[in-house]
Structure 1
């Protein structure tokens, strides 16, 4: 990824989410909060699932970010 992106940095764009939410609902929410392309790219790479908490979302975001960066 060209942009450096720390896992917690996406949280500014997920503020106010009421769970549960689907992956697409989360992406719509962060787009509405003007998230940068790097955040949206990582979220699009997350597994399709329903997120029941911020912890679920953080785990999925971190896993997707690591996959995109070539880490396991």
Structure 2
């Protein structure tokens, strides 16, 4: 079974990110900062849009995580 990812855990990999960023820019940033595959998988499920703040990204991450967990 895939390791669970908590919403706050991804913040380690987004620390220092400058906003606004597109979904793909966020994914590239976290990859460069060593994010594990389970964090990247959740981010790939986020809506393809621009994120203007850490709070904006947190909401999108939480929504994507909830959708993934709902499929189990």
TM-score normalized by structure 1? Answer: 0.95
Give 1:55's aligned residue: 55
| Alignment size in residue pairs | 71
Question: Residues 8-27 of structure 1: matches in 2 within 5 Å?
Answer: 8-27=8-27
Residue aligned with 1:69, SS: helix
Instruction: Please report how far the alpha carbon of residue 14 of structure 1 lies from its aligned counterpart in structure 2 after TM superposition.
Output: 0.3
Gaps of 5+ in 2: none
Gaps of 5+ in 1: none
1:6 correspondence with 2:16: no
Rounded Cα–Cα distance in structure 1 between residues aligned with 2:52 and 2:7: 18
Structure 1 consecutive aligned stretches of length 4 or more whose deviation exceeds 4 Å: none
Instruction: Please report how far the alpha carbon of residue 70 of structure 1 lies from its aligned counterpart in structure 2 after TM superposition.
Output: 0.5
TM-score normalized by structure 2? Answer: 0.95
